[in-house]
Amino acid sequence: MSEKIIMLACAAGMSTSLLVQKIQQVAEKQNKNYTIFAKSTSDIDTQLNSDNIPNVVLLGPQVSYLKAEVQSKTDAKNIPMAVIPMVDYGMMNGEKVLELAENLMGVE
């Protein structure tokens, strides 16, 4: 079983799939047993009510306009949420995005 579950959400769940791979590579190099996946923003409700509830939700910058709506849903479940910085997203910087997720989850 995974130590932590990190969910990335974007418009269709497609554009973040490469970033998921980059984050997974960094996590594996650091010997971290994380489940990292991308979903469409339309799947957030389903995911938050599933057996695979994420420990953190990261929004792609292209859907940052949904931040308040998603924040209310994640707050109700006591799950931290943030928008991935545009620079880190654009550069596909898995290390920085993993660091963001871990900071939100309180991982040392």
CB 23 within 8 A of CB 94: yes
Tell which residue, 61, 32, 29, 59, has the closest CA to residue 44.
59
CA distance 45 to 96: 26
CA distances from 83 to 31, 32, 51, 64 (A): 25, 22, 24, 6
Would you call 69 a catalytic residue per the annotation? no
Strand partners, 91: none
DSSP annotation of 60 reads: -
Identified catalytic residue from 5, 7, 9, 10? 10
Catalytic residue numbers read 10
